[in-house]
Amino acid sequence: MPPKPELSALAAARLILEQSAAPLHYEEITKRILASGLWHTTGKTPAATLSALLSNSVKKRGTASPFIHTSPGHYALNPSPSAALPAATCRLPAAACQAPTVSKTLSFADAAERILEASASKELHYRDITRLAIDQHLLDTTGKTPEATLYAQILTEVKRRRLRREAQRFMMLGKGMISLAKWQASGIAYQVNEANKQAREKLFKHIKAIEILGNLADGIDPFTHILFPPDSPYQQADVVRALFLALEALKAPQSPRKASGPARPASARLWTPEEEQRLRDAFAAQKPVAEIAAAHARTTGAITARLIRLGLIEAPRHTSYPPNNRRTGKSSGILKTLGSCKTPLGCLQYRSQNNRTRRP
């Protein structure tokens, strides 16, 4: 039986990773290589040697490397390398030198984005997103809590983009619900997020202005943090005094603007000629007093008083009495009837008849 051809350390590691369904630690890769006799070395630390070779391949070749660094000390095959290994450095058969046929999986954030784009509800719980991603083979994980991993990665991305002031990809809707930011552009969550973003930017600019003015007032360059020379304008007394006044104005709490006062009620508004003409037309059409008051946004008493002032109806003789009779405590009959008149013409007829009966 001819002896097995000896491979390079990287070629042997590639062969071992092709036979594994999950990423392996470099010590485990070294153990399997030596046990299978694919690579021989006289060094005392073969695991450290292989680790350096794998790390160097990933750093120098980037996406063209056949390996990827999945976690500290763990490596896997690159699912989509940009180029195959050169034939001069590959000691495997020709078929093995081509790009490895590994099922393409996505990161947790990319898998969540794809699941949300295909979802009809446009918002899902992170547990449902994880379950759908695993069922559709978008995720390849051996962890015991993939739901927590997905939620943590999305939350980390949201915080990172917020600090960098970049456009968000996801929206955290609370209680574990996640949606895509492009779908929430007109929703309440988006409006709240935009309002918070504008408030943060305004506060950031305010704090930055205070910091710059403070440095200038202290005679320090706000960018180089070097003292200004004595002949600098920022060392002049008037300039320093003006800077301190501006700094105090920025630090002072801003009081909210006071309203100019409550809006005047309709009954307190002045009558315009146009409104009086509409009142005459309504009176001629014998519309009810309540309807006229609603049309003018005024009280029935204001309508009656204006009709009297315009000479359309006659003022009652007992207008000097208060609404309640001082002696009996009962409402005046004239005022009570006036409030219950259905039409101005009816009020006029009642008053005319009442005045005739009271005459001696």
φ and ψ of 76, to 5 deg:
-145, 170
Residues 250 and 206 sit within 8 Å (Cβ to Cβ): yes
Tell me the per-residue pLDDT of 265-288, one tens digit each, with 9 for 90 and over. Answer: 555 678 888 888 998 898 888 888
pLDDT band, residue 199 (cuts 50/70/90): confident
What pLDDT band is residue 103 in, cutting at 50, 70 and 90? very low
pLDDT at 349 over 90: no
Closest C-alpha to 312, from 289, 291, 342, 283: 283
pLDDT in tens, 26-79: 899 989 988 888 888 888 888 888 888 888 888 777 778 888 888 778 888 888
332, pLDDT greater than 70: no
pLDDT over 70 (residue 357): no
The alpha-carbon radius of gyration of the chain (Å, integer) is 43
Token digits for 229? 């020379």
Q: Is the pLDDT of residue 151 over 90?
A: yes
- Pick the more confident residue, 245 or 331: 245
> Who wins on pLDDT, 354 or 157?
157
Question: Counting beta carbons within 10 angstroms of the beta carbon of residue 24, is it exposed (0 to 12), middle (13 to 18) or buried (19 or more)?
Answer: buried
Is the pTM higher than 0.75? The answer reads: no
Distance CA 197, CA 193 (A): 6
Quick: pLDDT tens for 283-331.
888 888 888 888 888 888 888 888 888 888 877 665 444 444 444 444 4
d(CA 101, CA 104): 9
Look at residue 150 in the predicted model and tell me its pLDDT: 92
Strands in 74-77's sheet, in edge-to-edge order, are 24-25, 74-77, 67-71
- pLDDT(341) > 90: no
The confidence score (pLDDT) of residue 299 equals 87
Out of 85-94, 127-136, 225-234, which region has the weakest mean confidence (pLDDT)?
85-94
Output the pLDDT for position 265.
Answer: 56
Q: So what's the pLDDT on residue 331?
A: 43
Q: How far apart are CA 23 and CA 142, in angstroms?
A: 10
